[in-house]
Structure 1
Amino acid sequence: MDIEITDIDGTRAKLRYGTLTFDCALGKAGITTHKREGDHATPAGRFPLRKLYFRPDRLTQPPCALPITEIETLDGWCDAPDHALYNQYVRLPFDASHEQLWRTDELYDLVVVLGYNDDPVVPSAGSCIFMHVARDGYSPTEGCVALEKGDLLELLAAIGKESFINIPQS
């Protein structure tokens, strides 16, 4: 069963999985079928959920069928389109542009890596597309899907290890 993004209204939507329904935030530029690095859009398509990262200093390991890794202070994700490790996990310090997974806010307390632009990686087609914790008021993301922390924990406990997310064209 897929996770479905529905009821899209700009940067807000509903996320549905079976009988579960949650509010979620999308990218500042809405949904696109032509994702580019830095465009602030959430990519349309059907993507596997690859892995869960979590902050062990803030949460106990959540129940989840996905592979799970504890986030460490030196964990990052490359978002430099011209780098050989573009859209891949990296260790810090890292000489190219990157996201730091260990953040001072709670947005990356839970990070689900979506299988977007990773098989194969296409330079400049977008990176760091995650499902993560939403900001207060579900303010828009840089291109990710974001849920309230409790809702994300409930979803993670329900999904299977072969789960996909379906993000339709808006």
Structure 2
Amino acid sequence: MTPDDLVLTRQGLRHRGQVYPCTIGKGGVHKRKREGDGATPLGSHRIVGLLYRPDRLSAPTSWAVPIGPLDLWSDDPQAEDYNMMVRAPYPFSHERLCRADPLYDLIILTDWNWPYAVPGRGSAIFIHQWRRPGYPTEGCIALDRVHLHRIARALTPRSRLIVV
């Protein structure tokens, strides 16, 4: 492990000597993640991207990518674009990245089941803002807005999410 890594512990998400309260998937942590199981996958996952809403905040890093109303994430195992960012209109099951709530104003992308997705293994594991403390996700890791932004600004190309 390096100081750039984010490490999920029982106490929270550890990064650069700090431990931040977080929530995980309602299905707990599992080594055999499946689409729709609500689990957070065990293992080491590279940080591969950072998405943000330019209408709500400024870019947290020089490599952050802006998202807009037509940006979606495919979560349909039958689609050839499964577990990829796609654009509307999109005929398959998907998740809208520009939401009315602030959950996806800033998204840290991991390489879970990406870039060569295995159908049914589960779509994206994001690190994003939580609804409220203790409220579980569908498998992602969620943090307080201030903590999420602090972590995003400190990420490097070597950063990984380590779920133990």
TM-score bin (small chain): over 0.9
Residues 56, 119 of structure 1: CA spacing in aligned structure 2 closer, same or farther, 3 A cutoff? closer
Match of 2:154 in 1: 158
Match of 1:15 in 2: 13
Please tell me whether residue 4 in structure 1 is matched to residue 7 in structure 2: yes
**Distance (whole Å) between structure 1 residues aligned to residue 51 and residue 84 of structure 2:** 14
Is the CA contact 2:22–2:133 (under 8 Å) kept in the aligned structure 1? no
**Distance (whole Å) between structure 1 residues aligned to residue 137 and residue 89 of structure 2:** 25
Match of 2:139 in 1: 143
1:56 aligned residue (54, 57, 77): 54
**Distance (whole Å) between structure 2 residues aligned to residue 51 and residue 134 of structure 1:** 19
Q: How many residue pairs get matched?
A: 161
Residues 60, 119 of structure 1: CA spacing in aligned structure 2 closer, same or farther, 3 A cutoff? closer
Is the CA contact 1:138–1:146 (under 8 Å) kept in the aligned structure 2? no
Runs of 4+ in structure 1 over 3 Å off: none
RMSD after superposition:
1.2
**Distance (whole Å) between structure 1 residues aligned to residue 42 and residue 31 of structure 2:** 5
Give the superposition deviation at 1:157.
Answer: 1.7
Specify every segment of 5 or more residues in structure 1 that has no aligned partner in the other structure, as ranges.
8-12
Give the superposition deviation at 1:128.
Answer: 2.2
For structure 1, which segment, 100-109 or 16-25, has the greater mean C-alpha deviation from structure 2 after superposition?
A: 16-25
* Superposition TM-score, scaled by structure 1 size: 0.91
Q: Which AA in structure 2 matches 1:6?
A: T
Residues 81, 50 of structure 1: CA spacing in aligned structure 2 closer, same or farther, 3 A cutoff? same
Give the superposition deviation at 1:120.
Answer: 2.4
* Superposition TM-score, scaled by structure 2 size: 0.94
Give the superposition deviation at 1:113.
Answer: 1.0
